[in-house]
Chain A
Amino acid sequence: MIIVKDLKRCYGTGDTAVRALKGVSFEINKGEFVAIMGASGSGKTTLLRILALLDDATGGEYTIRGLKVSSLPEAERSYYRLTQVGYIFQDYALISEMSAAENVYLLSMMEGKSKKESYKTALEALEKVGLKGKHDRVPDELSGGEKQRVAIARAIAKKPDILFADEPCANLDTTNSKQVLDVFKELNEKYGQTIVMVTHEPWHTDYVDRVITFKDGSLLSDEKKMKE
């Protein structure tokens, strides 16, 4: 589903240039739940942003379902971001002036769905992440885990091909982390959602099918885990 070939990303130029990704290649199949691990500064975030079309690679190639997205013009990339990929930020990145439902249905409206339909989609997505009945709350009235689950709802409401999450539990305690990971797991198992998640915590790998480890901008290891 995702094919990454010799992907490179270099920040800056000349003497101060940082080679954050030094040419990585891998494939991710439909329905996989992948964890990306590695030391701080190893290039995980850099990779994820490129995969989610938030940033451009400086070299290499990147295709989603056969479409070479690395060379799309910005308008199409924007549409792709809206309709095909979900991105979950470490700090939730919700719009603070919008309720949980509004945060989610904004995107459906952008896609051109009617208000009613958008609202329905939003409530469904919120229900999927276990936030039934909390759709009217604004982010300030939600716990960290709940906020992150709103963010997940926002990302999955559009039924994306792939869901990217950059350290989604970094700001959460164990209980909240578990709730979020459970949601991921359920999405993956019940709906076959492909998920790529960056994480530092070894125990998170219990939830995933595959662990890719980075070191200094290169692939260190890539191990599939047996499903229980």
Chain B
Amino acid sequence: MINDIRVGALIAYCSVKRGNKKTLIFIVFVLSLIFMNLVFLPSMIGGLSGLFTGFMQDYPYGDIVIEPMGDNTYINNADNVLKKVRAVEGVRAGTKRLDVGASINHKQKVVGVTITGMLPTEEYEISRYPYIISEGDFLSDLSRDEIIIGAMIAGTGFGSEIYDNLGEVRPGAFVDVTYSNGVKRTYKVKGIMEGTFEVVDLNALVHYKEIEDVYGLEGKEATSVVVRVDEQGTEAQIQDKIREAGVNEQIFTWADKSESLIRQAMQSMGAIDIMSKIVSLIVGAALVLIIIYINVLNRKKEIGILKAVGITPRSIVLSYAFLSTFYVSLGISAGLVLYLSLMFYFQANPVTFYETMEISPTIDPVLLIQSVVTMLTLSVIAGILPAWSVSRESILKAIWGR
């Protein structure tokens, strides 16, 4: 076997060293494109899901979100939960929120929204809501009859054409809100928020006390407690610590949350991605198969001669295995260079999506390793097959064709 490997390597080495360089370059070029194709789209999708995940952290869920247990609508003692949470080491900030359903009415136009009741001053530490006010101002602690509405429902932001909206509501305008329990309130629009994200721009914000009041709550309930940690990456540990601190509600990290969310959102993307991967793998394998097959056919006589002078069929097959490994490794390396340059380009110049959402691709090492391994395996198999079939032919047939 050792001899087979040595001889196989020598044959492959000579055929690379003295073979046609143009063909080599061409093969490597095409293989590099195939590799690119394999990893590029997933990186873009990765960038997209990273973006969504970022939104999830920045708005509804924070780093860790605590939600009511089981069928409960509310966390019963949110202040108590908050107290425990804030005492946990590594927690930067926490706040409680109340999400309710409502409809907003303005000059005969009605849209359904989720209204989040929040404590405005605490939100500066928790979310990006205070920072995305495109017109007017964010809520203050005294904002009891004021409301912030999303740009998409206000009818001023991007996406207004897609969704029902109130038709250009500006700060200072008055809107009527009917809560899910039938209570009606009139609010003055204090600001318009534009997060270029539907979950945000289709919502409205009021003071926590308002919701408490409307629903007759007693100052302790919340539909969620949102937590931010000091250091990204420690979410899972802190999730455990919060549980240990005696919080008997459901505790999710943003990763838990986005997993299910992204999974839904990305399902169709994922299908496209998998299909494109399979196609490029098949194309890649077929290409290597064809290249090696033509090579083998051209050298059928040589293979016969090698056998005739006593070279084992195994060394011959091995030489083609080495050869295709070499082609593919070069192809992958070239592909990697190409890929990384494209990645850096797109990270510097993100693709805009939805006019305002900037997607910069993410480089996922696991994906890269996976792609390298699959491409190598498939190509080597594709490279070996033709050589194997020819090396099994009789010597006479290989050399003299009959």
Taking Cβ atoms with an 8 Å cutoff, the residues of A that contact B are: 49, 52, 54-55, 78-79, 81-83, 87, 89, 93, 95-99, 102, 106-107, 109-112, 115, 138, 154-155, 158
Contact = CB atoms under 8 A, between A and B. Distances in A.
Contacts of A93: 301, 305, 308, 399
Contacts of A83: 310
A95 B306 contact: yes
A87 B315 CA distance: 20
A78 B18 contact: no
25 contacts: A54-B395, A55-B395, A78-B310, A78-B312, A78-B313, A81-B310, A82-B309, A87-B309, A93-B305, A93-B399, A96-B18, A97-B15, A102-B10, A102-B14, A106-B11, A106-B311, A109-B3, A109-B6, A109-B10, A110-B310, A110-B311, A110-B315, A111-B3, A138-B18, A154-B309
B69 interface: no
Contact of B14 (A78, A87, A98): A98
A59 B96 CA distance: 96
Given A78-B307, A82-B310, A106 B17 contact: no
Interface of B: 2-3, 6-7, 10-11, 14-15, 17-19, 301-302, 305-313, 315, 395-396, 399
A52 B396 CA distance: 12
A107 B311 contact: yes
B301 to A, nearest CB: 8
Contact of A107 (B310, B395, B399): B310
Contact of B3 (A78, A97, A110, A154): A110
Nearest to B302: A95
Contacts of B312: 78, 110
Nearest to B402: A11
B396 A54 contact: yes
Nearest to B311: A110
A97 B17 contact: yes
B292 to A, nearest CB: 15
Contacts of B19: 97
A87 B309 CA distance: 7
A97 B18 contact: yes
A81 B6 contact: no
Contacts of B308: 52, 54, 81, 87, 93
A54 B17 CA distance: 30
A5 to B, nearest CB: 23
A55 B402 CA distance: 12
Nearest to A115: B6
A78 B305 CA distance: 12
Contacts of A82: 309-311
A109 B309 contact: no
A209 to B, nearest CB: 26
A96 B20 CA distance: 12
Nearest to B305: A93
Nearest to B394: A55
A82 B2 CA distance: 16
Nearest to A111: B3
Contacts of B396: 49, 54-55
A154 B310 CA distance: 11
Contacts of A78: 307, 310, 312-313
Given A98-B14, A107-B311, 17 more contacts: A52-B308, A54-B396, A55-B395, A55-B396, A79-B310, A82-B310, A83-B310, A87-B309, A95-B302, A98-B11, A98-B18, A106-B10, A106-B11, A110-B311, A112-B2, A138-B18, A158-B310
Contacts of B3: 109-112
Contacts of B6: 109, 115
User: Which 3 pairs from chain A and chain B are nearest by CB?
Assistant: A82-B310, A97-B18, A81-B310
Nearest to B3: A112
Given A54-B395, A81-B310, A110-B3, A89 B15 contact: no
A97 B14 CA distance: 6
A110 B313 CA distance: 11
A173 to B, nearest CB: 24
B7 A109 contact: yes
